[in-house]
Amino acid sequence: MRTLTGLQPSGKLHLGNYFASIKPMIDRQNSSDDEMFIFIANYHAMTSLNDAKSLKANTIEAAAAFLSLGIDPNRSTFWVQSDVKDVLELYWILSQLTPMGLVERAHAYKDKVAKGLEANHGLFSYPILMAADILLFNADKIPVGKDQIQHVEIARDLALKFNNTYKEIFTLPKADIAQDLATIPGTDGAKMSKSYKNTIDIFSDAKTLKKQCNSVVTNSTPLEEPKDWQSCNIYAIAKLFLNEKELGNLQDRYAKGGEGYGHFKAYLNELVWNYFAPARDKFDYYMNNQNEIIEILNEGGKKAQKISNETMEKVRDFVGIY
């Protein structure tokens, strides 16, 4: 069984990235027999980032973050998307099988354009490149948030189309979603996203983290009165870090009253800071030893390329590419 995930190096990692994608992947890496494929999606990042210097720096920073949070290159295949050029060739071949209506219905494109991103072909054809990422490695399971389910379904549709048109070589992927973590709330209660500027970042300094936690939107319930934890954005984020007993204790604090939202924001700040303390130390090490990062990525790229070559030899033969 193969599990694949990719994350764009389009900025600093936040709690949404971690709990919706990275943590489930690390847990699976450490506790299952799945073959793990994890890549940094720098081609995808070009849909929202067109500064060369920033893209290069973000790619290295993302690799350092992945490694610091627990990705083990000895147990997973870990690489940068652009190190496996076969993905672009497969993207083009799949494009010949993609009905316009299939991508025209993609809600992620419409959402991003509505939020101000330029309506270009790269953004429009994003789902086809994502399908190539998935099908190139014949991945069975794709851990995604709710907003990416449709893209996995498109990959499945294209796998079926190719298999029926030529020969059955592609695995039909399935979206793998932890329902309780499908959408991680941001500081405003909407989905946590860099685009919405509502993130709590993993590797920020203490001052920035405190500022982000203090920016969580709350209501105006007076300090002495009980508060509704079920509708509280602070609680919705804090619960990601807590076990059942700790959740019960926090709920009791809300119900009791006598604490203002400032107290709960300080508590959230403490939770995040302490949870990621070991990862911050590793992150600092890798950022000061970037040659080690490059070496790890190069080795991962070779492993990924070997598998992609096997797939593309068959694909080229079936479609008639000499």
The residue from 23, 194, 227, 265 that is catalytic is 194
End-to-end CA distance of the chain: 32
Is residue 26 within 8 A of residue 69, CB to CB? The reply is yes
Cα 63 to Cα 290: distance, rounded to the nearest angstrom: 10
| Strand positions, DSSP E, the chain | 2-7, 35-40, 76-80, 141-143, 174-176
Tokens at 321, concatenated = 């590419």
194 is catalytic: yes
Cα 99 to Cα 73: distance, rounded to the nearest angstrom: 37
Beta bridge partners of 6: 39
Beta bridge partners of 143: 176
115 is catalytic: no
Tokens at 50, concatenated = 């067109």
112 is catalytic: yes
Q: Report phi then psi at 120, rounded to 5.
A: -110, 175
| Strand positions, DSSP E, 76-127 | 76-80
The residue from 23, 141, 191, 265 that is catalytic is 191
Contact partners, residue 10, CB within 8 Å, separation at least 6 = 45, 48, 49, 58, 194
Cα 29 to Cα 21: distance, rounded to the nearest angstrom: 12
Q: Specify burial of residue 130 (Cβ count, 10 A radius: 0-12, 13-18, 19+).
A: buried
Q: Let me know how long the chain is.
A: 322
**SS3 for 37?**
strand
DSSP H stretches of helix in 218-289: 233-238, 244-256, 261-275, 277-287
Among 43, 6, 39, 48, smallest CA distance to 196 is for 48
Catalytically annotated residues: 112, 191, 194
